[in-house]
Amino acid sequence: MTRPLRVAMIGYGFMGAAHSVGWRQAPRVFGLPAEVEMAVVVGRNGNAVAEAAKQWGWQESATDWREVIARDDIDIVDIVTPGDSHAEIAIAALEAGKHVIVEKPLSNTVAEGEAMADAAARAAERGVKSMVGFTYRRVPAVTLLRDLIAEGKIGRIHRVRASYQQDWLVDPDAPLSWRLQKELAGSGALGDIGAHAIDLTQFVTGQSVDRVSGTIDTIIAERPLADGSGTGAVTVDDIAIFTGRLSGGALASFDASRFATGRKNALSIEVSGEFGALAWNFEDLNSLQYYDRTADSRAQGFAQVLVTEPEHPYVAAWWPAGHMLGYEHGFTHQVVDLVTSIADGTPLHSSFEEGLSVQRVLDAVERSSAAESAWVETRSAVAV
């Protein structure tokens, strides 16, 4: 590329901070095929977004995203706003010829996701790239998990268990936030963290979740407003538990909750196959657990693979073996892959189509729960 790729980030909350770290680290740690400039961060509150620009190293701040995506000196639009604005901003940016990365989940509804995927396909014909920020795919151990399954290490997949547990809402005094309002977030634990469990399952197995049966529930339905002026209704789920049938025939179990007391950000997946099993959990994110059924029966057991060798995905650019990576490195790796794809024209995941496939699963779980199709009375109501 002749001139630097200039980035506009729309939004500046928790994900805005994480993305900013990625934009700042990637060019300094990886030899990117194009330079990157953190041109402008956009937010509705002029003073607050100016502070964010200063804190995270953006050249400018602005309050009108439409004006920013119309600028000729902007090449990439990074959307880290709540889900209710993903579709409008992403479609406008794609139609303006900008490359787009949008935080997960892709959208708040399947219809919005379909419109976004259509816009992305049209833009791709003009060489415009787009992706959804499922960053856990880019933890080296998760990419390695996917690679080992693709190479047949565990053979035919029989069962998957994917779970994402947090507990930041167990306190009834935790205030109402945008993540608890359906019109802003689209859903609760199901879409915010369940989307990661679904995407991880589809990514590492290479299979789709074709059918689901499940239940979502709201545990605390009323919460104090942040400004102390009263209370407001929680209009999303606090917990989602469901089963899935994968396109390869295996059954998968999923649970996503913000009421898993004591679990702070516990994302985990285990894939069990005919020749062995692979397991990963975010609380030990640099390790992969591998069970090899083809090994000497006297020496079988879950082996801990420390995914910090230079031959492991992304690791060579970082530190010597054994020096660990963290949560923010997935955001750096997604910048590396996006910039490389823009500069070299290489394929890029996860696409808006992949994001739409997750949206379809989320929608199906909500429909299954509403239909109460999962429940069969056991008549085992003995006094216990």
Closest approach, Cβ 193 to ligand SOE, in A, equals 5
Q: Does 178 bind ligand SOE (CB under 6 A)?
A: no
Residue 295 CB, shortest distance to ligand SOE, in Å, is 34
Residue that the structure tokens 């545990």 belong to:
219
Question: Which tokens go with 365?
Answer: 């779980």
Binding positions for ligand SOE, 134-173, rule CB under 6 A: 166
In this chain, which of 112, 114, 192, 199 binds ligand SOE, going by CB under 6 A? 192
Beta strands in the chain (DSSP E): 5-10, 36-42, 60-62, 76-79, 99-103, 130-133, 157-165, 209-217, 222-224, 231-233, 239-246, 251-257, 266-273, 276-281, 287-292, 303-306
- Select 44 or 264, whichever has its Cβ closest to ligand SOE: 264
- Joined tokens for residue 327: 């949560």
Query: Residue 346: how many CA atoms within 13 Å on its side-chain side?
Result: 11
Of 80 and 348, CB closest to ligand SOE: 80
Quote the least distance from Cβ 55 to ligand SOE, whole Å.
Answer: 18
Nearest Cα neighbor of 32 from 356, 379, 370, 336 is 336
Beta bridge partners of 287: 306
DSSP letter, residue 304:
E
Question: Where do the DSSP E strands lie in 107-259?
Answer: 130-133, 157-165, 209-217, 222-224, 231-233, 239-246, 251-257
**Residue written as token pair 């479609």:** 91
| Size, binding site for ligand SOE by CB under 6 A | 5
**Residue the block writes with tokens 């696409």:** 351
Residue 14 sits in the site that holds ligand SOE (CB under 6 A)? yes
Closest approach of ligand SOE to the CB of residue 192, in Å: 5
CB of 63 to ligand SOE, least distance (A): 24
263-282: contacts with ligand SOE (CB under 6 A): 265
In the region spanning residues 87 to 126, those forming contacts with ligand SOE, defined by CB under 6 A, are: none
Q: How far is the CB of 204 from ligand SOE (least distance, A)?
A: 17
x-or-dash pattern for ligand SOE, window 236-265, by CB under 6 A? Answer: -----------------------------x
Residue in the shown chain whose Cβ atom is closest to ligand SOE: 192
Whichever of 145 and 342 has its CB closer to ligand SOE, that residue is: 145
Burial pattern 359-375, b for ≥16 Cβ within 10 A else e, equals: bbbbbbbbebbeeeeee
Closer residue to ligand SOE, CB minimum distance, 98 or 196 = 196
Q: Give 56 or 291: the residue with its C-beta nearer to ligand SOE.
A: 56
For ligand SOE, which is the closer residue by CB, 14 or 319?
14
Distance CA 184, CA 100 (A): 21
CB 198 → ligand SOE: shortest distance, Å? 12
Alpha-carbon distance of 175 to 223, in angstroms, equals 6
Q: Is 193 in the site for ligand SOE (CB under 6 A)?
A: yes
101 and 76 Cβ atoms separated by less than 8 Å: yes
Kindly state the smallest distance separating residue 265's Cβ from ligand SOE, in Å. Answer: 6
C-beta closer to ligand SOE: residue 63 or 281: 281
Q: Is 205 exposed, middle or buried (0-12, 13-18, 19+ CB in 10 A)?
A: buried
Which of 98, 329 has the CB closer to ligand SOE? Answer: 329
Give the binding site for ligand SOE (CB under 6 A): 14, 166, 192-193, 265
